Structure 1
Amino acid sequence: MPRAQESVWDYPRPPRLEKSDDPIEIEAGGRLIARTTRSYRCLETSHPPVYYLPPDAFAADVLQPARDGRGSWCEFKGPARYFDMLVDGGRIDRAAWRYPDPTPAFAPIRDWIAVYPSKMDACRVAGESVAPQEGDFYGGWITSWIAGPFKGGPGTMGW
C-alpha cells in the first residue's frame, strides 16, 4: 500500500523524534553493514528525515571513531561525535555520527548512529532506495513519500 505523502514543511521546529519499525538497510564497501527494524526518525522543518539506528544494527567491524577527532554541535541535540567506516579495505571519513550526551528531548537516541546516505553505496527504508539530501551538512534520507523543497543545496542555507 502506498504511503501518505509527507511534506518537510509540515515537520516541526524544534525537531521531534518519531519511532519507526520500517526495515532499514545500509550498504557500504560492497556489503550490508547495518540492518534493523528499530530506528528513530528525526523530523525538522525543511529537512528530510534523518534515521538513527541502534549500535547493534551495525556490523561489529565497520565503525571507528573519526580519526580527525572533530565533533560538531546541534542547537537541539547537543554535541555530536563522528565515526569513520572501515569497509572493503578502505576508510570512509566522517560517514556517521552519534550524540553521546544529548539534550533531554533527544535522550532516546543517546549513542544511536546516523549515516550520511551520500557516503554509502545504498540506504533503504522499507525496501526503497533513498536519495541523499543535497549538500554535506545534513544527512537526510529522501524517499518517494517525502516532499520538499529541501534545505541543504546551494542557496538554501539562509532559509
Structure 2
Amino acid sequence: MKAIWNDTVIAESSNTKIVENNHYFPREDIKEEYFEPSNSHTRCPWKGKASYFSVKVNGNTNEDAAWYYPEASHAAKPIENYVAFWNGVKVTE
C-alpha cells in the first residue's frame, strides 16, 4: 500500500493493518522527512488517545493529516504506533 499526498509517496508498506476501513502503516514504513509532530490529540472510546502528524511536501502543509496511537488500549495493541491517514491523503495499492 502507498500513502500519497501532493503527488508524493509519503508511506509505503506491504504490512498495513486495516481497522475501521483505514490502513495503518508501520511507523518504520513512513517517510519521516515528510512528517512533523502536531500538538493535536483526540480520543477513541476503544483505541485510546490519538496523536497527530502534519504532512509537509514541497512547501505545502496538510495539518493533522496522519494519526497514531502511541499507547493504544489493550483492544488496539496491534496498531500501536502504526500511522493512518485522512484529509486528502490517498491510500492506494
Structure 1, gaps ≥5 residues long: 1-23, 44-48, 128-159
Using the alignment, how far apart are the partners of 1:96 and 1:38 within structure 2?
17
Normalising to structure 2: TM-score of the pair? 0.92
**Equivalent pairs: percent with the same residue?**
24
- Give 1:60 shift: 2.4
Name segments (4+ residues, structure 1) moved above 4 Å.
Answer: none
SS class of match (2:77): helix
1:73 corresponds to which residue?
43
Higher-RCO chain (CA-CA 8 Å, sequence separation at least 6): 2
Pairing partner for 2:81 from 96, 111, 127: 111
In 1, are the aligned partners of 2:23 and 2:91 still within 8 Å (CA)?
no
Match of 2:67 among 97, 100, 104: 97
Provide the aligned C-alpha RMSD in A: 1.2
TM-score, normalization by structure 1 = 0.55
Checking the alignment, whether the CA contact within 8 Å between 1:54 and 1:113 is kept in structure 2 is: yes
Question: Between Structure 1 and Structure 2, whose CA radius of gyration is higher?
Answer: 1
Question: Where do 5+ consecutive residues of structure 2 fail to align?
Answer: none
> Deviation per CA, 1:14-38, whole angstroms, max 9, x where unpaired?
xxxxxxxxxx111112211111110
8 Å contact from structure 1 (residues 30, 88) kept in 2? no
Residues 11-90 of structure 1: matches in 2 within 5 Å?
24-43=1-20, 49-66=21-38, 69-90=39-60
